[in-house]
Structure 1
Amino acid sequence: MSTTDDSPQHSGISVTEAAASEAISLLESEDMDTDIAGLRLYVQQGGCAGLSYGMRFDHEPEEDDTVYEHHGLRVFVDPASMNYIEGSVLDYEGGLQGEGFHVENPNVVSECGCGESFRT
């Protein structure tokens, strides 16, 4: 399944322009083809609240992935992770407190104190 939408509000996964720009720069620095490769966003067991986010670059999506494209960035999400992160927005924040990718997830009912894990 593939979805393309540059609007920040829709079901599935959305990506801000800042996050897409940063991820594309990182993909290009790894000499990955941004027309095929993308950012994998997934959920894994772990952290003090039970679940945590994971991200990595993949050369291509898996057969059962949902593929979203926002601002030129392809995002791959496996079916099991989608159950936890449907409706989320991936953003990139910079500044004095540190920089990095952040997932705004409407399904979260609680997060740990450090913000690294969550519970739905």
Structure 2
Amino acid sequence: MTATSFPELHGDLPAQEIHISEYGAQKALAILSQSGKENAGVRVFIKSGGCSGYQYGMAIDDRELEGDTVVYDRGVKLVVDHMSLPLLRGSEVDFVENMMGGGFTVNNPNATSSCGCGHSFRTDGSQSPDGQGSGGCGSA
């Protein structure tokens, strides 16, 4: 496991692998406090699927697995597996609200295209992995 220390406690901040917005942190902390899981964090991951090739996923998780990167930002523990990290490096987890409700989203500087719903993306304009991703928005 690779761990990033509390960056707000250090004068010279290393570039974080992934971070969370202030509003996203408020929402995440509220959800985590109600989860009943001690030492839980937000696991952010990538899976194949969706209309653009990859899909974002998030879950409350109290486990840290071999190869995970753990980042503490704004009081929130963010956990990313080693396969997802290259696609998420530099991303910001945020919470957005609109007329259809609200939810977490990922602002990813590595995405070169995404679908209209914002839940799937492609990184290089190439075909979807394993031939997936030809379905509608958010399909798996």
TM-score (norm 2): 0.76
Per-residue CA deviations over 1:85-118 (Å, capped at 9, x if unaligned) read: 1000111122434211110000011111222210
1:92 to 75, 90, 95: 95
Distance 2:121 2:91 in 1: 13
Contact 1:14 1:87 in 2 (8 A): yes
* Structure 2: gaps of 5 or more residues: 9-13, 124-140
1:13 to 18, 33, 36: 18
Runs of 4+ with >3 A deviation: none
Partner of 1:52: 55
Partner of 2:43: 40
* Structure 1: gaps of 5 or more residues: none
Contact 1:39 1:75 in 2 (8 A): yes
Per-residue CA deviations over 1:68-91 (Å, capped at 9, x if unaligned) read: 001111010011101111000111
- The total of aligned residue pairs comes to 116
More displaced 10-residue stretch of structure 1: 58-67 or 91-100? 91-100
Distance 1:97 1:5 in 2: 35
Deviation at 1:23, TM superposition (A): 1.1
Is 2:29 aligned against 1:29? no
SS in 1 for 2:101: coil
Percent identity at matched positions? 38
Per-residue CA deviations over 1:11-55 (Å, capped at 9, x if unaligned) read: 41011121112111111112122xx21010000001011100000
